[in-house]
Chains A and B, each alone.
Chain A
Amino acid sequence: MGITRRIFMITGAAVGGGLLLGVGGVSAHLLTHNRVGVQQDAHESDDSTHINMWLRITPDNKIIVINPHTDMGQGSSTGLMQIVADELDADWSQMLVEQAPADTAYSNGKVFEGFVREMMTPPEWASTLLENGFYRMGDLMKMQMTGGSSAVRFTGWDSMRHAAAATRQMLIAAAAEKLNVAANTLTTEAGNVLHADSGRSLPYGELAAAAAVLDSPKDIQLKSREQYRYVGKPVARVDVPSKVLANEDYGIDAAVPDMQYAAIATSGVFGAQVKSIDNLDEVKAARGVSDVLIVPDGVAVVADNPWRAEKAVRTVKFTREPHDNDTLSTESLVNRQRQALSEDLTSGMTAGAPDDIQTTVNAEYLVPYLAHASLEPMNATVWQQDGKLHVIGGVQNPLLARARAAKEAGLDLDDVVFQARQMGGGFGRRVAFSMSDDEPLNWLIQAVRIAVDTGKPVKTTWSRETDTRSDVYRPMVMAQFEGALADDGKPSLWRSRSYGKEMNIKAVAPPYKIPNLAVSYADLPHPVPTGFWRSVEHSQHGYFVESFIDELAISAGVDPLQYRLNLLDENSPAAQVLLKVAEMSGWRSGADNQGRAMGVALVHSFGSTVAQVVEASLTPSGPKAHRVWCAVDCGVPVNPQAIEAQVQGSVHYALSAALYGKCDLKDGGVVQSNFHDYRIVSMRDAPRVEVELLPLGSPVGGVGEIGVPPLAPALCNALTVLDGKRRRVLPLV
């Protein structure tokens, strides 16, 4: 499905009955200037210029925001609509949102750009070049990703805000021409351009066609924070009612004519393929079973009901190709990591003269591989129709998923139609994009193979067991620390070594002022498939760093919260959130008379800063978190109630990992299989979580992941207060 030129026509009815508004020009701020080239490359016949993919305005004055991210309930659709409504002076009742098609013309380089800029600061002269480059890259890499908490802060704040503001100015210019008055006599309100002197008003819908052919303004006027009517307000999320009424179709709910169902059994060893199916006739004899076939990483059974398929696939006996991973175990992997840390390491960050100082506090930490365990198991529905391959799936990167499906089927991108559906959780599992050789879309590849090889319309659904054992896991990481204290108790040295390539060394280094610092890592891969897991490297390194700083505080005999403050600039967001969380929690450093104690942690991630205090106790069945307080600096809080929900949800997600989460390796595969041995916190385990957002004037930060990293260290720090034991290995139960 190529996007036809019609979509990009500047005049007339575009697909969907709206009008794409052009925002072009060569503004360093605008994301759109280089889309023209990209889109023209994608559609040779397209000679139109000023094009913007974010906004459409319909003749009946609806503003349609085109979201190049997939909303998994984090509220990005609503957040983007709020930003656009404010900059455009639109009324909320006019606002609609659509998911961007999985098309190259809607690739999103802004996400890339945001990440790279977060890790390095390019010189000013390189900025425009870079921006162009990122869009080219986004195009080439089929980047349409939702991940890294990027939707609102990069796509929304950096791009759509400017695009909407420019559009408003263009609508005014179009109105000025039409009414034959000066532009500065016009104002905008609730989706209309107003001419106060004559009392005339023109709805945007009537101006869009004329506005679309204008040059975008060089000087874009953005609203000030005082002028916002929607940004910063607790707006009800647009996706909530249909979810509550169960009217939402998830990938797993796909239904197409004559659909069959596939279930998968994994080979059991990462990377090992199945050589032969040894009881084919027996499996095929089961009711409803039509096909039994070898697929990448396992075998599939196709039947006329998902339960029949699953039941049958569990009876398949197969022979596996031998593989290097056959003997892989957690023990062998732990040893491998420890060995690696004693060998040559890559230096990530060095300051001062770390080698001169005698260390006094030493610690080794270890966190396991973790599955994402989104509640909807991975699934995809694939069929062939009218010469095209059709795919329905829930992914965090529809464009890349479409490209992978095409590659697997040996087709051109244009011969694959991809429908992105609602996802029952993502948490990074469905990002589709990988920093390693591992294939995060492994379920989609299987689904495509099955549909192509059988020639049938097939919905492939993983069982929970297959889902748990075929993930791209959060990496297991070992980290070793050495510290020394100066006479005033402050750290005089911090040295760390950790396993795994670190793209973002800022995530590994402490956020504190420490004169001598040496952060290094073993740049080595994992034999187990790895991927992005909510908050990525912050989830491990936040735990390490914030545990070790607590160890230093204790050895200095200083209150851990005060100790952190002593190492921060007084006015920094980090110090501010710490002070706030102390106030919220009524911070105290000892245990109370009910046997409860508090622990604190502070982590900066995805452009936001979070301090958490966990109040915990030790019960006969293990540690219990009773309450969690979170003080958050995420810059402008676009939708405070959605942010609160994200932080609360992150706390529970992280608590599951801290208490229970582990994927053990044995004989080359994962031992855990379902929620009985890969436990998730339930209502009973869930602490009450209070969230406050601080108005510190920081740039807009991400919110979907930032609540995860501080939880484990804050919990462990609290438990140490109770029994003096330092918990350096997760999970706790």
Chain B
Amino acid sequence: MIKLNVNGVEHSLDIEPDMPLLWALREETALRGTKFGCGIGMCGACTVHIDGDPIRSCSYPVSAAVGKEINTIESIGTADAPHAVQRAWIEHQVPQCGYCQSGMQMAAVALLNTNPQPSDEDIDNAMTNLCRCGTYDRIRAAIKTAAKELV
């Protein structure tokens, strides 16, 4: 049994230790806000937090997540209490198809947690996720808005 702490909830799962965290989250705990885009750590659609750090869950075996705090997009905010990043995302009308956006927001939340006033260069370095719809202009603007709000 693999024990995972996801969004504060303990799960005991009968899965292989080398199963990527992404597939455990999506199909074994039914948290499907975390997306699959490439499976090789290139796109970031599968970004979640492990002890607060952004990781690409498609390339992260569940065995490595045992004993750590896993947080997914589902724990970031709700319709009633959206995170500052989510408010900024709505204000700037960031998503197009929206598929990359849970990973993008997880990357942005992690960036702002460690660097509350990121420069353009910091944003370039941290936001390496891919958006096929090309929402980069608005992601950048939304991060800056969220940063102001979080001061």
Contacts and interface: CB of A to CB of B under 8 A. Distances in A.
Contact of A245 (B78, B128, B139): B78
B19 to A, nearest CB: 6
B64 interface: no
B40 A307 contact: no
Contacts of A424: 35, 97-100
A641 interface: yes
Given A424-B98, A649-B133, A653-B134, 4 more contacts: A72-B97, A464-B40, A680-B132, A686-B136
Contacts of A233: none
B37 to A, nearest CB: 5
Interface stretch (A8-16, A370-378, A397-405, A614-622): A370-378
Contacts of A252: 32, 35-36
Interface string B41-63: 01101000000000000000000
A649 B134 contact: yes
Q: Which 6 A-B pairs have the closest CB atoms?
A: A652-B134, A424-B99, A243-B98, A246-B33, A73-B96, A649-B134
A689 B125 CA distance: 20
B82 A244 contact: yes
B99 A649 contact: no
A649 B135 contact: yes
B99 A375 contact: yes
Nearest to B101: A243
Given A375-B45, A425-B97, A461-B36, A244 B130 contact: no
Nearest to A689: B137
Q: Is the interface of B mostly helix, strand, loop or mixed?
A: loop
A246 B99 contact: no
Interface string A57-80: 000000000000000111000000
A652 B135 CA distance: 8
B30 A241 contact: no
Interface of B: 15-16, 19-20, 23, 26-28, 30, 32-33, 35-40, 42-43, 45, 73-74, 77-79, 82, 86, 89-90, 93-102, 105, 123-125, 127-140
A675 B131 CA distance: 12
B40 A73 contact: no
Interface string A634-654: 000000011001101111110
A645 B99 contact: no
27 contacts: A74-B96, A241-B90, A246-B74, A253-B32, A255-B30, A305-B19, A307-B23, A373-B132, A375-B45, A375-B99, A375-B131, A376-B37, A377-B37, A424-B98, A645-B138, A648-B135, A649-B135, A674-B38, A674-B40, A675-B37, A675-B38, A675-B43, A675-B130, A682-B129, A683-B124, A683-B136, A683-B139
Contacts of A228: none
A646 B133 CA distance: 8
B45 A648 contact: no
A31 to B, nearest CB: 28
A684 B134 contact: no
Contacts of B32: 249, 252-253, 255
Contacts of B23: 305-307
A243 B95 contact: yes
Contact of B93 (A307, A427, A642): A642
Contact of B96 (A72, A651, A689): A72
A245 B82 contact: yes
Interface of A: 72-74, 236-237, 239-241, 243-250, 252-253, 255, 261, 287, 305-307, 310, 373-377, 422-427, 461, 463-464, 641-642, 645-646, 648-653, 674-676, 680-684, 686, 688-689
A683 to B, nearest CB: 4
B20 A652 contact: no
Contacts of B105: 244
Nearest to B103: A375
Contact of A652 (B86, B93, B136): B136
A651 B134 contact: yes
B38 A305 contact: no
Contact of A377 (B30, B36, B82, B139): B36
Nearest to A642: B93
Contacts of B140: 683
A641 B89 CA distance: 14
A73 B131 CA distance: 13
A422 B89 CA distance: 19
Contacts of A646: 96
Contacts of A240: 89-90, 93-95, 98
Nearest to B102: A246
B130 A241 contact: no
A684 B15 CA distance: 37
Contacts of B139: 683
Most chain B C-beta atoms within 10 Å of own C-beta, residue among A247, A463, A645 = A645
Contacts of A239: 95, 98
A302 to B, nearest CB: 14
B20 A307 contact: yes
B25 to A, nearest CB: 11
B97 A374 contact: yes
A373 B135 CA distance: 16
Given A244-B101, A246-B33, A236 B134 contact: no
